Each structure stands twice: as structure tokens, then as C-alpha cells.
Amino acid sequence: AGKFYQHAPTETSQATLASVSPVFAVMKFDKEGNTTYFEKKKTELYQELGLQARDLRFQHVMSIVTRNNRIIMRMEFLKAVITPEFLLILDYRNLSLEHWLLNELASQLAGEGQLVTYSLPFEFRAIEAILQYWISKLQERLNTLQPQILETLEALVDPKLLSVDRSQLRILLQNGKSLSELETDVKVFKETILEILDEEEVIEELCLSKWTDPQVFEESTSGIDHAEEMELLLENYYRQAEDLLNEARELRVLIDDSESIIFINLDSHRNVMMRLNLQLTMGTFSVSLFGLIGVAFGMNLESSLEEDPRIFWLVTGIMFLGSGLIWRRLLSFLGRHLEPPLPPHVPAVLKKSQPTAGRVEIKTSLKGETFGLSRSTLTNQ
């Protein structure tokens, strides 16, 4: 009885854990492209595949690993298990993913698509189809961002604009954030493939049929090197990711350069406004300086000048003329100190004499080498 009570809680806990294990919605593809749908618990699925529970622990990461002659591919929301006979897509309930699975993947695996690995075993087709889908999704994201960014930059980088549209800046900020996320995803994709390319043993393990099908093993040992084909396949998509990343970097550089141009335009307009303000200040100072004459005459001081009717126009003319001369003088002083100095003038005789002297020196050195003279003798000459 004591033994029975000791084992009963353990069996109950195991039954409870098995009942609450997650259920995967699975789509299965065979070599002919036939598709079946079913739902299965995680415990039953990894036992049938000969895997461990941790092998089906899918996070939103990117990795390609092999376990017990099975290839487990994690492409963020795309989760796949590849065997020599079939391909399993787990948790496929995604609108864009379902469209690809139903309309493209089945035909590609059956040999009706544009894959280049139809003559190779099934796992090559499955890996290429998944990599092609993922690189096409990254390319679509870049193709969507590129025209939006270029249109926004064209609207912002306009020298006629005295101010920057904040709505366009907000759009540029959002697109820049999306571009940074795209660059991160492409880098992770590249690093995932590069980790496999650096390990020859992993490349060998990816060739599943080589170790299960005797005919494929004979082909690999006699003529077709499947490990080399797998390496070329992965390297092809690594280069595509590299090209995609270069395009994203060029777009990032264009954004940075455009931001510099925007700041330069704004600084230029700001300098124009500051210079105009300084000119107006100088004009106000000039008028105020000669306005002291009017202040002096407005003090009701008695003199013989106020009796002459022409004095008013004479004094007014002197005030405006003097103010204009002083303002013009201040503007010329301002222009001399703000304009950059001109480069020093090089005489034409000096420009013509320099190449001639160089040719004479070369001829002298060549003549010295011809007659076997030493370097010291040429220097003395």
C-alpha cells in the first residue's frame, strides 16, 4: 500500500502534463507534393519523429540544425521539420504563410517550380524552397520601403524649402526604423547560413538521403558530391542575402546624406535671415545716428536757421544722404569679413616651367644611367 501511494501522485502528474501539452497544427508534404493536414500533441509528434521535446521548442529565432537524421528549420514564424521522405510545417495558420503553402510550396516540391535542385534528393528541394521563400519576403520588404524612402527624401531635399514638413519627417523616421529592422533580419539570415558553411560536419549531416538511401550514397561516393551541392546551395542564398544587405546599406547611406543636405539647407536659410537681420540693424543704426540732427533742431533752440524755408530740405537731405553712406560703408565692411578669401594666384610662367623642369630632370637622370654615372655625380651636376 505504501508503494502504491508513492507512485500514484507521479502517474497523475504525468497524465496532467501530457493533457496540457501544446497541440501543433501540422501541414505535411510528401515528395510528390501531396498535402495533408492534421493536429497532434507535442509529445506524440516528437516521439514519432524520434526527437526530443527541446527540438520542437520553437522561438522567434532563426536556425538550421540536424537531429537524428532530421533537419529542423526555424525562420522566425516559419517552423519546419524535414525528413528524407516528407516536410512538416508546424503552426502554419498565418495568412501570408498559408497562401505560399497552398499555391507555391506543393508545386515546387513536386517539380513544377523554378528550383534548381530537382535532380537532387528531397531534402535539397525542401531547404531551397524555404530559403527562397524567406529571401523573397526580405526582398519584398525592401522593395516596399525603397520607393517610400526615395519619395520622402525627394520632398525633403529641396533647396527652395525654408522649413521642413514635420509629417514627411515622421514618415522618414518610421521608414528608417523599418529599414533598421530589415537590416537586422538580413544579418541574422546571413549569420545563420555562415555558421553552417563554416562547419563541414553540419553540411554532411544536412544530406539526409546520403545516410539512409544506398543508391544516393553510391552516387555521392562515385560522381555527385551531395555535400558540395549543399554547400553551393547555401552559398547561393548567402550571396543573395549579401546583395540584399548592400542595397539596404546604400539606402541607409542615402538617408544619412539627405539628412546632411537638409541640415545644410536649413543652415543656409538661417544664415540668410541672420545676415538680413544684421543689415537691417545697420540701417537702423545709420538712420538713428543722423537722426540726432533732427533731435537737435527739435529742441526749440532759437537760431537764424529756422527762419530760412530751405533749411528743412537741406538738413533732411543731409540726414538721408549721410545715413545711406554709412549704411553702405557698413555693408561693404560686412561683405569683406564674411566672404571667403580667394586662393592665391599662381603665375602662368611658373605653371609652364614646372613640367619643363621635371622633363629636364628626367632626361638628365636617364642620360646619367645610360653612361653609368653614379647618383652622387648626377647630384653634383
Q: How far apart are CA 244 and CA 265, in angstroms?
A: 32
Q: What is the DSSP letter of 102?
A: I
Q: What is the pLDDT of residues 141-186, one digit of tens each?
A: 999 999 998 888 888 776 565 556 677 778 888 888 999 999 999 9
What is the value of pTM for the model shown? Answer: 0.66
**Contact partners, residue 381, CB within 8 Å, separation at least 6:** 364, 368
Q: How many CA atoms lie within 13 A of 354 on its CB side?
A: 5
Place of cell 539627405: 258
Picking from 115-119, 332-336, 354-358, 376-380, which range would have the lowest pLDDT averaged per residue?
Answer: 376-380
Assign 241 to helix, strand or coil: helix
**Contact partners, residue 69, CB within 8 Å, separation at least 6:** 50, 83, 84, 208, 211, 212
Picking from 77-81, 101-105, 158-162, 256-260, which range would have the lowest pLDDT averaged per residue?
Answer: 158-162
Average pLDDT, the chain: 75
What are the contacts of 44-48 at 24+ separation with CB within 8 A? none
What are the contacts of 248-251 at 24+ separation with CB within 8 A? 248/142, 248/179, 248/182, 248/183, 248/186, 249/183, 251/142, 251/145, 251/146, 251/149, 251/179
* Backbone angles phi and psi of 183, in degrees to 5: -60, -40
C-alpha cell at 142: 525592401
Q: Hey, which CATH number is domain 21-114, 3.90.1200.10, 3.30.70.120, 3.40.50.720, 2.40.128.330?
A: 2.40.128.330
Q: What percent of the chain has pLDDT over 90?
A: 18
